[in-house]
Amino acid sequence: MRKIIYWVHTSVDGYVDGPNGEFDWPMMGPELSAYSDGLDRRVDTLLFGRPVWEMMVNFWPRAESLSDDPHVASFAPFWRATPKIVFSRAYPGDDWTSRVIGGDLAGEVAALKAGPGRDLLLTGGAALAATLSGLGLIDEYHVAVHPVALGGGRRLFAESGHRQGLRLVDSRTLDGRVVVAHYQPTP
């Protein structure tokens, strides 16, 4: 069975973006980029909630012309080549969207996990992650904590009304500044 891997960047005060939606604070040094690349090598499909998708689709198709960052140069071809699924009830899709899932979230995601292929990578998406976590559909959590306090924004996990126990599998400091913790859900 395929796994859903949740890969997310957060501030030390628990926000995935700033008070005005800013996402200019994660610093992708060589070690953090290598960690991210390692997750990418395990998957053949990317999953996005609509807010994260809109940010991604406005950057990654032409990323190399917008940035000379080595991580951008490495990730952009992978992003363009990998099938992408967007979760939204209203979004019709676009040229970069392989599929939109808008209904029967539990059934559709369970079918994805049972289907052929490698693992699936959910990048960001606090609301979608909270929903999938509440349904018991996330198999691994990889949380990169960056040394910044944003003072507001969207929380790492949106309120779901569901408590999820997690078991720490591994933690490490990368690039001398970012702590990445790898968790698995507990029963």
Tens of pLDDT, residue by residue over 125-160, are: 888 999 999 899 999 999 999 999 999 999 998 777
Residue 171 lies in a domain: no
Q: Is residue 165 in some structural domain? A: no
**Given pLDDT bands bounded at 50, 70 and 90, which one contains residue 111?**
very high
Whether residue 107 lies inside any domain: the answer is yes
Kindly report the pTM of this predicted structure: 0.94
Instruction: For residue 84, tell me if it sits in a domain.
Output: yes
In a domain, 187, yes or no: no
- HSE at residue 53, side-chain half, CA atoms within 13 A, is 25
| pLDDT score at 6 | 97
Residues of the domain holding 140? 4-157
The total number of structural domains that make up the chain: 1
CA atoms of 152 and 19, how far apart (whole Å): 5
Give pLDDT tens digits for 73-105. Answer: 999 999 999 999 999 999 999 999 999 999 899
Q: Answer for the pair 120, 3: CB distance below 8 angstroms, yes or no.
A: yes
Q: What is the CATH number of the domain that holds 45?
A: 3.40.430.10
Q: Taking residues 47-51, what's their average pLDDT?
A: 93
